[in-house]
Structure 1
Amino acid sequence: MNLISTLIDKITANNLWDKEFVLQRNEFLKEKGTIDTNLYLVVTGSLRIFVVDEFEEHTIRFGYKDNLIASLDSFLNEQPSDFYIQALKKTTIKSISKKKYLSFINSSQEYKEIWLSILEKFVLQQMERERDILTSSPLERYRRVLKRSPKLFQEIPSKYIACYLRMTPETLSRIKKS
């Protein structure tokens, strides 16, 4: 059972989405220094979540069809975030406010358990990603992401995948060819 699909279906069945809107390619959903406490469903298209240091951008995560995304730090603590969320192509999104979402989650033990399981999986994925970046070769990182998220390579341009994998686009291209 896909817990995210189950959660999306429950939100949709209860008609809880606040609005649906379209972002054009390269348009920002969220910029650094802003507070965003909404949860988003990617209906079509794709987005990236990234931070910028003084030298370069660092892609943290992607969202594409049927993914839930958020500036999770801002969603949880209601403070400004250093994250940007940007459309990589024309993207249709639905949103639900934190207040409405938490009211829904707290209305049922089943929903609470689904949400907790999703958060646990997310934390484990982030830990695995961090370990990979720190200890794995570029080839190993590529193989793990390909195994874990094959759809990523169909939805996201290679230059952003390379950034996510902490390698140059040229290195990613060589790995994909070999």
Structure 2
Amino acid sequence: MHQKLLNYFQRIMPLTQEEADAIAATIHIEHVKKGTILLHEGDISAEAYFVLEGCIRQYYLIDGSEKTSNFFTDEQWVVSIKSLNEQVPAAHFLDACVDSYVIVGNRDKEEGLYRQFPKFETISRKIMERVFAEQQEILATYLTETPEQRYLRLMAARPNLFQLVPQYQIASYVGVKPESLSRIRKRILQKH
């Protein structure tokens, strides 16, 4: 399973065998059961995750309601960036939507790899640029698109998500109540 991470890194920047072996030696794979909370609001994040298989959801608890802000699936990084980097309490939760396999990383392992192989800092920067670009794109859709457009975009870009997570979480992610999502889905079906 750790080969997925090595392949991911190889697509960003070629690795020597020594570099690949160093990464492989630090990999810790965890099986996370559905419903497991990886990070609670108010906790300070100490770890980052790379999803090998499954789905991790990021959500906020606002007035007792869960507001889903992202889903992380295969080959995506799950990082509470502000909490991890600044060591401040997280404003959100991270939970496993389904049984998942993740690689767990922490700052000590990361710094050790940077010291041994400075090239990993470049790889890390490129990864964070991708993560930041994805987050910007998601935020932009909330400013420029209707919930129906966000739903259609999600269906086109991540169809597998609809098999993994309940509809009420999809509704929360696109910014509507479950009843409104039902109406959106009905309208879409009538158009086709």
- Of 102, 105, 110, which aligns to 1:93? 102
Contact 1:27 1:86 in 2 (8 A): yes
Identity %: 24
Which residue identity lines up with residue 61 of structure 2 in the other structure?
V
Where 2:90 maps in the other structure, the secondary structure is coil
Partner residue of 1:14? 24
Partner residue of 2:135? 126
Please state how far the C-alpha of 1:109 moved relative to its aligned partner. 5.2
Aligned length: 176
CA distance in 2, matches of 1:29, 1:51: 14
Residues 1:69 and 2:78 aligned together: yes
Partner residue of 1:51? 60
CA distance in 2, matches of 1:7, 1:115: 12
Contact 2:22 2:113 in 1 (8 A): no
Contact 1:44 1:93 in 2 (8 A): yes
- Of 5, 9, 25, which aligns to 2:8? 5
Which residue identity lines up with residue 51 of structure 2 in the other structure?
V
Structure number with bigger Rg: 2
Q: How does 1:132-171 map to 2 (within 5 A)?
A: 132-171=141-180
Q: Do the aligned partners of residues 82 and 4 (structure 1) sit closer, same or farther apart at CA in structure 2, a change above 3 Å counting?
A: farther
Where 1:66 maps in the other structure, the secondary structure is coil
Please state how far the C-alpha of 1:13 moved relative to its aligned partner. 4.8
Task: Say what the alpha-carbon RMSD is for the aligned residues.
Answer: 2.9
Structure 1 stretches lacking a partner, 5+ long:
none
TM-score (norm 2): 0.76
Please state how far the C-alpha of 1:30 moved relative to its aligned partner. 1.2
Where 2:25 maps in the other structure, the secondary structure is coil
Contact 2:77 2:131 in 1 (8 A): no
CA distance in 1, matches of 2:139, 2:41: 22
Where 2:162 maps in the other structure, the secondary structure is helix
CA distance in 1, matches of 2:45, 2:146: 35
Structure 2 stretches lacking a partner, 5+ long:
none
More helix by share: 2
CA distance in 2, matches of 1:12, 1:64: 25
Q: Do the aligned partners of residues 109 and 147 (structure 1) sit closer, same or farther apart at CA in structure 2, a change above 3 Å counting?
A: farther
Please state how far the C-alpha of 1:48 moved relative to its aligned partner. 0.7
Where 2:43 maps in the other structure, the secondary structure is coil
CA distance in 1, matches of 2:77, 2:93: 16
Contact 2:52 2:102 in 1 (8 A): yes
